[in-house]
């Protein structure tokens, strides 16, 4: 499917963003949405991934956080705060180690200066991984995170392998061919 077709399809199906099809492909391959669970969506705005989770797993309780505002979604608890502030959000903090799934489509603003962008991506991904490790259920939790192909990817993957039993890389069909974005999946079991 041509990249523009993903956006058209998202609009037709009532989704906020074409990114839902990236999550859809990974979720179908990894079977992460088969049960009722707590889901944490990091960097959630505009809300497409939270919306997708609620549609595919209506009994799951979704908690979303972003520094950008996100229009309300039925059944999604949204907090407009930085990921660094997550421990201060009581509704999320009391569920530490109880989340079955942590998802993150977050990316830093790119400067166009490769060395700076690569470092910013790595730092944000490391923070996201740290947050996932803190909030995921250690017996059966799963994690999906956007990152980019660059010279720090191998280090990031090694960090994930220290936390998760299973680590996989995905380049979903809905990702633009010219984009360096890829997704990492981690699972404790």
What span, in angstroms and rounded, lies between the C-alpha atoms of 125 and 142? 16
Contacts 24+ apart (CB under 8 A), 176-180: 176/3, 177/3, 180/148, 180/149, 180/150
As given in the structure block, the two tokens for residue 45 are: 């705005």
Q: Are strands 61-66 and 38-42 parallel, antiparallel or unpaired?
A: parallel
Secondary structure element (H or E) that encloses residue 148, with its range? strand 142-148
Measured in degrees and rounded to the nearest 5, phi and psi for residue 173 equal -60, -30
- Give the separation between CA 164 and CA 143, rounded to whole angstroms: 9
41 contacts 65 by C-beta, under 8 angstroms: yes
Rounded Cα distance, 28 and 42, in Å: 20
Just list the catalytic residues. 146
């Amino acid at each position: 499917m041509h990249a523009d077709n993903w956006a058209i399809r998202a609009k037709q199906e009532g989704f906020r963003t074409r990114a839902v099809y990236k999550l859809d492909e990974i979720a179908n391959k990894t079977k992460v949405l088969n049960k009722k669970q707590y889901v944490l969506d990091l960097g959630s705005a505009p809300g497409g991934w939270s919306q997708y989770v609620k549609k595919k797993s209506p009994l799951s309780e979704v908690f979303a956080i972003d520094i950008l505002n996100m229009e309300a979604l039925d059944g999604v608890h949204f907090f407009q705060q930085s990921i660094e502030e997550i421990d201060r959000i009581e509704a999320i903090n009391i569920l530490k180690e109880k989340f079955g799934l942590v998802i993150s489509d977050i990316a830093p603003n790119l400067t166009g200066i490769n060395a700076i962008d690569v470092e910013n991506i790595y730092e944000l991904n490391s923070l996201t991984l740290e947050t996932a490790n803190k909030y995921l259920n250690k017996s059966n939790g799963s994690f999906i995170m956007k990152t980019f192909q660059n010279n720090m990817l191998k280090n990031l993957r090694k960090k994930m392998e220290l936390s998760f039993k299973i680590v996989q890389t995905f380049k979903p069909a809905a990702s633009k061919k010219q984009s360096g974005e890829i997704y990492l999946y981690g699972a404790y079991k």
